A and B are shown apart, each in its own frame.
Chain A
């Protein structure tokens, strides 16, 4: 079975500083991995996806993630945080026809 582990339940950064949200995956084969974002009282929106093409994946709003097979990681980064980035972020792995979500990381951005 596929699974993902988000290593931090909460991350706090200052506006303008880099963001790092960590995710490790467990998969018996090359996985399809995603990051979704959920703003308060909203549904989930796809940020980016990895499907065995380029290992560095660029997404919306300046986010990117790098697939590292040797480390079984798919960390999400952004060079400079903005106040509007405050939200919950989910690392997700595809298993067959369905998506398995991590527990989420809440990102706070301080002015």
Chain B
């Protein structure tokens, strides 16, 4: 069974450009999470969805960041315009239906973003 699939794995862009990161969760999982990892701040939760509905976006840094989940098998995280301080590894994770009480997440391999 395929795991969480993220694309692109690496992205280098210039300040001011729009960046779109993509995630395909594991089939049948009904919760999806976006995390950001940096050396300074560690792993931070940006936003999570249950059944395609955003539940908590309090971790989204500012209006330049937006996330969507148009269906159960796809999500995007968009940064517009991008800034050098957005450079980080962005992880997507999904959680199986019915395991909210245990909370185990399945992570993708991440998208490494570098904004010059």
Interfacial residues, chain A to chain B (CB-CB below 8 A): 32, 34, 41-46, 49, 51, 90, 94, 97-104
- Chain B residues contacting A90 (CB-CB under 8 Å) are 43
The answer to whether A43 and B107 touch (CB under 8 A), given A97-B50, A97-B55, A98-B48, is: yes
| 9 intermolecular pairs with C-beta atoms under 8 Å apart | A42-B110, A43-B108, A43-B110, A44-B107, A46-B105, A51-B101, A98-B56, A101-B35, A104-B42
Tally chain B residues at the interface, Cβ within 8 Å.
Answer: 23
The answer to whether A99 and B105 touch (CB under 8 A), given A43-B91, A43-B110, A44-B91, is: yes
Closest partner residue, chain A, to B101 (CB atom): A51
Majority secondary structure, A binding face: strand
State the 6 A-B residue pairs at the shortest beta-carbon distance, nearest first: A43-B107, A101-B43, A94-B103, A44-B107, A43-B109, A103-B42
- Chain A residues contacting B104 (CB-CB under 8 Å) are 34, 46, 49
In the complex, whether B26 has a CB less than 8 A from a CB of chain A is: no
- What CA separation (Å) do A51 and B100 show in the bound complex? 11
Q: How far is the CB of B83 from chain A (nearest CB, A)?
A: 24
Closest partner residue, chain A, to B44 (CB atom): A101
- Chain A residues contacting B79 (CB-CB under 8 Å) are none
- What CA separation (Å) do A14 and B91 show in the bound complex? 31
The answer to whether A51 and B42 touch (CB under 8 A), given A42-B109, A97-B48, is: no
- What CA separation (Å) do A87 and B18 show in the bound complex? 33
- What CA separation (Å) do A32 and B105 show in the bound complex? 13
Contact of B4 among A43, A49, A97, A104 (CB under 8 A): A43
